[in-house]
Structure 1
Amino acid sequence: MVPESVKKAGKRAVRYPDAELDVPVISVESWLRRFIRNPIPLIVEYLYALFPILGWISRYNLGWLTGDLIAGITVGMVVVPQGMSYAKIATLPAEYGLYSSFVGVTIYCFFATSKDVSIGPVAVMSLTVSQIIKHVEDAHGTEWGRPQIATTLAFICGFIVLGIGLLRLGWLVEFIPAPAVSGFMTGSAINIVAGQVPGLMGITGFDTRAATYKVIINTLKGLPRTTLDASFGLTGLFCLYAIRIGCDKLTKRYPKRARVFFFLSVLRNAFVILVLTIASWLYTRHRKSASGKYPISILGTVPRGFQHVQPPNIDPNLVSALAGQLPVATIILLLEHIAISKSFGRVNGYKINPNQELIAIGVTNTVGTVFGAYPATGSFSRSALKSKSGVRTPLAGIFTAIVVIVALYGLTPAFFWIPSAGLSAVIIHAVADLVASPAQVFSYWRVAPLEFVIWAAAVLVTVFSSIENGIYTSIIASLVLLLIRVAHPRGAFLGKVILKEDVEGSTKQREVFLPLTQDGLRSSHIKVHPPSPGVLIYRYEESFLYPNCSRLNDILVDYVKKHMRRGRDLSTIRLSDRPWNDPGPPRGTTASAEQEENLLKPDLHAIVLDFSSISHIDTTAIQSLIDTRNEIERWANHPVEFHFATILSPWIRRALVAGGFGVGHTVSKAPQEIAPVVPYRDGLRDRQLGELREESADHDDIEKSISSKSKGDVNISSGVVPLPLETPFFHLDLPPAVHAAESGLP
């Protein structure tokens, strides 16, 4: 006797009083209702989320102020020499690095969801800017000045990133995996170091923005032309590493004074630049030649204050000239910042909002053009320094900005005497940390060898070609690998292993299903028993979608044709009646011998499909599954049961039911096409569709069919109905599905 509650299955939900379980009937209306809400709260929530500072500024306290003050001043001591150094990488005057530093740290605190990230000029973006400037100058000469090219680039890229953030499209960044980003960063770091060695040694006479391998070759050729600049550059580089290594060792030896040694190490950049500047001033102030040159290359005049505050001058012709370079610049802004902010969020136990971070980057770069800033993004070295200095909130950026303003208005006369080789030493010392360590690279190989190949390809292309080609190579290779994984899913035919466990003095058994073929991961001593003859168990390991459904269809059909009995008597089939693609009996044998071999195979009764790893399914996949059923039943020459285990989504159940699965249809009433590409119809198909509609409308017939075929999953007498009775071939778990399939064997 079927409970009355089951007869009401056509309503929105079925309630089973004893089990207190609702089984919703999924409809398009219920799906749409999730997205139709009162727009006013959503708009208010969206606008409030644009300014995360509103969520914490009212709780600001003296303890936070102390940490932010120390971290802000510490980062400011580093960003001033780094900003000027990175501006030289971008082939811009040094003051533009300070402009970018000021705007980045000031604006970011209002939009930040990360307390640790410091925005400003970075080495990789600066190198990219120099490459883009070179590209425009090669094509158009000196029609536009380098600062105008850089600020225009910042405005357009910032506007694009801002749009991506406002539209909440930050998830696009997730398509680029960590090894690809690491490979691009490593190649870029090698590129930057190679380009700074000539400045460190005072070697001139060739293009340091050429491909990395060319720069290295020309540097080696130019070693005999080394000048006095090398004494400043090599000394500065040696001192930077000596101070860091010495402080690290002293920290381990005297852990109680770790905080002191940390700040001594942090100030090494400012200390070295200060000492080199004094030495440069003492040596060069009375050695100016008649032509106005000094014996070493020095930074020169740095204008005091903000000299280029004005509305951005966006020339449409310049925008057209930059069009081909915008994608790579935008990608670098996205990748570097999101990777850094996520990394520090994981380390320090908070979650960042990628879309909001993109908004921060976009606003920083668009507003920065008013001050003459060039493209800025998150800096790994300064963010790490900010985190280790004990930063408490994003407001620390304001104190960093104050340090930059003091430098712009009070220290520019001293900047004149900074040796260029000293700035090259600062760059090399900072950028070398971006190169992936051997342990990190080996971890890529251990986890996923193909991703190691992507990492290596990104590095090699960046070194032997350009940053632009390197980043495109890493992105395209990652997407191709993703498509290959989707289009070639893994799966396995399963067998059974009985595990015996001692629980409170009694032995209990449970079934575990493992691949029939040895996968190299399990012990060779474990014997996997195949299911009963006539039953197949297959587990999908990817979502069942249009790129991979044909392959999964081929796997099932080919396995059935190889291991299961063909339903027709092969000895009665004449050669002329066989299809052209049926190879027939092997050469030298007869059809009778072929039939005898065929009879040794089991007769296929049921196929159990484990859907535990499938989260999505589409129309093409359902059609492919229908084709699989039709082809297998033609081979077996009788209906074959299809059981489905562990379907997680109600939408997957809905889709399978639409394809005639789970409800126990006979082959004559199951749909042959769920969504035909060519709308071909004939009388037979129309009659079949009519029969399906009649059957769906007749609940009494469904109940009779289900009552006779329900197996194992449904316990009506106890009131526990895990799944609706209308779908007896859907099962909560794999063991009940296998038992249901095996229970129908003759």
Structure 2
Amino acid sequence: MTLILDYEHVPYTTKFKSFAKSIPPYLKNYVSNLLPVIYWIHRYNLTWLVSDVIAGVTVGIVAVPQGMGYAKIANLPPQYGLYSSFVGLCLYFIFGTSKDISIGPTAVMSLLVGQTVAKVTATNEYTGPQVAVVLALFGGFITLFIGLARLGILVDFIPGPAIAGFMTGSSITISVGQWPKLFGITSVDTHDSAYLVFGNFFKYLPETRLDAAFGLVGLCWLYTVRWGTGYLGKKYPQHEKLFFFANIMRNGVLVIFGTLIAFLINIGKDTSPISILKSVPSGFTAMDVPSIDITLLSQVSGTLPSVVIILILEHVAIAKSFGRINNYKIDADQEIIAIGAANVIGSFFGAYPNTGSFSRTAINARSGSRTPLSGVFSALVVLLCLYALTPVFYYIPDAILSAVIIHAVADLVSGPKFLCQLFRVNPFELFTFIAAVLITFFTSVEYGIYVSVGLSIVVMLLRIARPRYAVLGRIPVQPSTTYYSQNEKEVIIDKKQDQTTENWIYVKNDHQAFSQLVQPPPDGVVIFRFDESLTYPNAGFISDKIMHYIQDTFHSGTPPPTNKGERAWNDRRPLFQTTAVDQETDLNRIHAVVLDCSAINHLDSTGVQTLLDLKLSVDRFAGYEVEWHFSNIGSQSIRNTLITSGFGSQAGRGPRTGELLPVVPVYRDGPQSVDNSSKSTIEMNEQVSSKDEEKAYATHFDRGLPVDRYPFFHWDLEDAVRAASRAKF
């Protein structure tokens, strides 16, 4: 039985009716998915509750010191870090689709907010909290709109190396900015660019105070506990969970003992010998309806795109990562909605922009969280600290918080192994990474984001506009059967098969590994493969490459010049040719072009018009009609486009003017079609003669493959080459 491949045309009325019927279920599904909590909350049980409480309390203990430390990076009072931690943790379980994610202040976002606060407050009368609240409100609105409009696909335009670049640069900037606080140096302006802070730190290093003892001992404690518990966990795997919780508690233990020592050394003294946190107001003192100041909004409008990018990228990347690790599905658009809602509502509590945190999410996952409700218990820990423990915060040393921050952001720096692997994969992406790091270090995180994203888009456009292509040759493969003997140690190859049919594999004619084995295609046939879709940015480039190769490889079919005056300026042929040369020239003339379309998943109007122009140019060069064969056509839409342009049967040979979709309409005074037939172009192009069908079917029947109704469309490359080899001029 032979399968004839063709597609029926579906009327637009049928498509419209089908679309109209799908609208009500789509809207129902859309609305219900806005609140994922309804799909799992009714199954909540005591076992889940115990696990969520343990994980939530563990994360809350870490979130409190980190939140206050990150608020200092954002140039805000420490309580604003707690406000941001509380709101995100409390709301996420309603909108989120990840059981592990922990929302709150992050290092990169805090740095961006801090740089914006320093820039705005230096020239205006606005306060840092006012700037932060406006960023949270409008950044949340924009993020919420992107999620509701299902535009999360925009995230896919920013590659991983660009994200790693500005995060690495931000981490280095944050760490360098904390060095003066770690050593108690007050003469360094930490609002300057990182390279200035770096230089001034060593300049004023002799001003080191007692704070250095707290900071350096704190760093040693944090890294010793981490490495020690990790080593003991591997050595005694039966107690791995115990060592894990001991490791998690290192931040809290450091803050408690550091605060106790600071309190003791301040007894009986009017001035503290070290820099301490001092008063932290109890409760939500900044809770209010955000006031929208147009002037302030205009001041921060340039930072809002960076805020939105970080909000979305950090959160979605972390959520997808832990979704893959723990084997559950993440809805990226819904996660964007969750972030947007958390920031919009958080602005009413005085919170600054917050998003998913990698370190706290990892702790939440390792602590055994079972549902997104674990974040609520983390929020309760933050709430308890806000109302009951704020007097204790007075004596927290700033150097201790700096040690906690440096320890946390160090994990965000990409190491040498990452750089080596990235160089092997793609040197251009390594360049993007390095550029993002340097721009962030020497200017600001905002510029680092814009540069990394811009370079990534430029690289993507260059790849599309200048794609890789290949002229294919072929390697003969003798049919054989390979099987194993019963002991599976001896390989037996059976070559007792029919050797009359030779099979081929197709590779680049200059393939690095097979260059000695590659044979040319049949005489007069050229095979091209594109590695990208054929669209307006690259159509001209690909057309030029194909035409130049044909001109360099084959002889022209036009008669040779008889004298110097008739010879064209670019014609290098001799004036007179012998009979032997004529015969040799006839053998090296092009008969057919074969295009491997396996990598083409989109063909726009410019691309198909370029193919038509190229076909006319090749025909003029050859002096006769050259056949065009297409293999591995990936979609029905591409097939229909080629049929409309006349490549399916090549009976109509396309529009006679060479214009399928002319940019300038053809008027009566312009070039006219020489075809006076009353049939439309599409009708003419869809004609398939019985002779063409027989020719196409013959090439496919030999191999037992399905047959396309149009004789110049082929199931695979081998069929296309066989059909092209029968072409005559």
Q: TM-score range by the shorter chain?
A: over 0.9
Instruction: Give 1:174-189 correspondences, 5 Å limit.
Output: 174-189=156-171
- Cα deviations by residue, 1:510-555 (Å, 9 ceiling, x for unpaired): 321000013x3x355x501110110011111101111001111001
Q: Quick one: structure 1 residues 601 and 740, their matched pair in 2 at CA, closer, same or farther if it must change by over 3 Å?
A: closer
Q: Quick one: structure 1 residues 690 and 113, their matched pair in 2 at CA, closer, same or farther if it must change by over 3 Å?
A: farther
Give the distance between the partners of 1:119 and 1:712, measured in 2 at CA: 64
The equivalent residue for 2:544 is 554
The equivalent residue for 2:558 is 568
Partner of 2:419, secondary structure, is: helix
Q: Is structure 2 residue 624 aligned with structure 1 residue 638?
A: yes
Give the distance between the partners of 1:152 and 1:699, measured in 2 at CA: 60
Give the distance between the partners of 2:100 and 2:162, measured in 1 at CA: 24
Q: Quick one: structure 1 residues 39 and 245, their matched pair in 2 at CA, closer, same or farther if it must change by over 3 Å?
A: same
Instruction: Give 1:262-411 correspondences, 5 Å limit.
Output: 262-288=244-270, 293-411=271-389
The equivalent residue for 2:489 is none
Query: Which 10-residue stretch deviates more, 58-67 or 125-134?
Result: 58-67
- Cα deviations by residue, 1:114-159 (Å, 9 ceiling, x for unpaired): 111110011111111111111112332xx22211111111001000
Shift of 1:683: 8.5
Q: Quick one: structure 1 residues 434 and 717, their matched pair in 2 at CA, closer, same or farther if it must change by over 3 Å?
A: closer
Give the distance between the partners of 2:73 and 2:204, measured in 1 at CA: 20
Give the distance between the partners of 1:683 and 1:378, measured in 2 at CA: 65
Q: Could you tell me whether the CA contact under 8 Å between 1:668 and 1:688 is conserved in 2?
A: no
What is the identity, as a one-letter code, of the residue corresponding to 1:710?
A
**Runs of 4 or more consecutive aligned structure 1 residues displaced over 6 Å after TM superposition:** 698-701
Instruction: Give 1:586-625 correspondences, 5 Å limit.
Output: 590=575, 592=577, 596=581, 599=585, 602-625=588-611
Shift of 1:584: 2.6
What is the identity, as a one-letter code, of the residue corresponding to 2:570?
P
Aligned residue among 665, 677, 682 for 2:663? 677
Give the distance between the partners of 1:235 and 1:697, measured in 2 at CA: 83
Q: Quick one: structure 1 residues 523 and 641, their matched pair in 2 at CA, closer, same or farther if it must change by over 3 Å?
A: closer
Q: Quick one: structure 1 residues 238 and 684, their matched pair in 2 at CA, closer, same or farther if it must change by over 3 Å?
A: closer
Q: Is structure 2 residue 508 aligned with structure 1 residue 515?
A: yes
Shift of 1:626: 0.3
Partner of 1:200, secondary structure, is: helix
Give the distance between the partners of 1:313 and 1:327, measured in 2 at CA: 21
Query: Which 10-residue stretch deviates more, 700-709 or 128-137?
Result: 700-709
Q: Is structure 2 residue 50 aligned with structure 1 residue 66?
A: yes
- Cα deviations by residue, 1:341-399 (Å, 9 ceiling, x for unpaired): 12112222222111111111100000001111111011111011111111111110011
What is the identity, as a one-letter code, of the residue corresponding to 2:494?
S
Shift of 1:461: 1.1
Aligned length: 713
Give the distance between the partners of 1:591 and 1:139, measured in 2 at CA: 83
Q: Is structure 2 residue 454 aligned with structure 1 residue 466?
A: no
Q: Could you tell me whether the CA contact under 8 Å between 1:23 and 1:723 is conserved in 2?
A: no
Give the distance between the partners of 2:475 and 2:22, measured in 1 at CA: 53
The equivalent residue for 2:486 is none
The equivalent residue for 1:7 is none
Q: Could you tell me whether the CA contact under 8 Å between 2:643 and 2:686 is conserved in 1?
A: no
- Cα deviations by residue, 1:589-629 (Å, 9 ceiling, x for unpaired): 64549994982761111011000111110000010000000
Shift of 1:333: 1.1
**TM-score for both structures, normalised by structure 2:** 0.93
Shift of 1:31: 5.8
Q: Could you tell me whether the CA contact under 8 Å between 1:496 and 1:512 is conserved in 2?
A: yes
Q: Quick one: structure 1 residues 451 and 32, their matched pair in 2 at CA, closer, same or farther if it must change by over 3 Å?
A: farther
Aligned residue among 523, 527, 535 for 2:517? 527
What is the identity, as a one-letter code, of the residue corresponding to 2:510?
T
Q: Quick one: structure 1 residues 437 and 27, their matched pair in 2 at CA, closer, same or farther if it must change by over 3 Å?
A: farther
Give the distance between the partners of 2:624 and 2:537, measured in 1 at CA: 30
* TM-align CA RMSD: 2.5
Q: Quick one: structure 1 residues 456 and 489, their matched pair in 2 at CA, closer, same or farther if it must change by over 3 Å?
A: same
What is the identity, as a one-letter code, of the residue corresponding to 1:566?
S
Q: Could you tell me whether the CA contact under 8 Å between 1:115 and 1:393 is conserved in 2?
A: yes
Q: Quick one: structure 1 residues 42 and 277, their matched pair in 2 at CA, closer, same or farther if it must change by over 3 Å?
A: same
Q: Quick one: structure 1 residues 448 and 635, their matched pair in 2 at CA, closer, same or farther if it must change by over 3 Å?
A: same
What is the identity, as a one-letter code, of the residue corresponding to 2:560?
L
Shift of 1:437: 1.9
Q: Could you tell me whether the CA contact under 8 Å between 2:645 and 2:654 is conserved in 1?
A: no
What is the identity, as a one-letter code, of the residue corresponding to 1:583?
N
What is the identity, as a one-letter code, of the residue corresponding to 1:113?
T
Give the distance between the partners of 2:24 and 2:681, measured in 1 at CA: 46
Q: Could you tell me whether the CA contact under 8 Å between 2:652 and 2:681 is conserved in 1?
A: no
Instruction: Give 1:80-95 correspondences, 5 Å limit.
Output: 80-95=64-79
Q: Is structure 2 residue 647 aligned with structure 1 residue 661?
A: yes
Aligned residue among 560, 569, 584 for 2:571? 584
Q: Could you tell me whether the CA contact under 8 Å between 2:612 and 2:654 is conserved in 1?
A: no
Q: Is structure 2 residue 432 aligned with structure 1 residue 454?
A: yes
Q: Could you tell me whether the CA contact under 8 Å between 1:187 and 1:459 is conserved in 2?
A: yes
Give the distance between the partners of 2:279 and 2:713, measured in 1 at CA: 78
Give the distance between the partners of 2:162 and 2:713, measured in 1 at CA: 41
Q: Quick one: structure 1 residues 204 and 433, their matched pair in 2 at CA, closer, same or farther if it must change by over 3 Å?
A: same
Q: Quick one: structure 1 residues 413 and 177, their matched pair in 2 at CA, closer, same or farther if it must change by over 3 Å?
A: same
Give the distance between the partners of 1:575 and 1:678, measured in 2 at CA: 39
What is the identity, as a one-letter code, of the residue corresponding to 2:533?
S
Give the distance between the partners of 1:511 and 1:155, measured in 2 at CA: 63
The equivalent residue for 2:707 is 722
Q: Is structure 2 residue 692 aligned with structure 1 residue 706?
A: yes
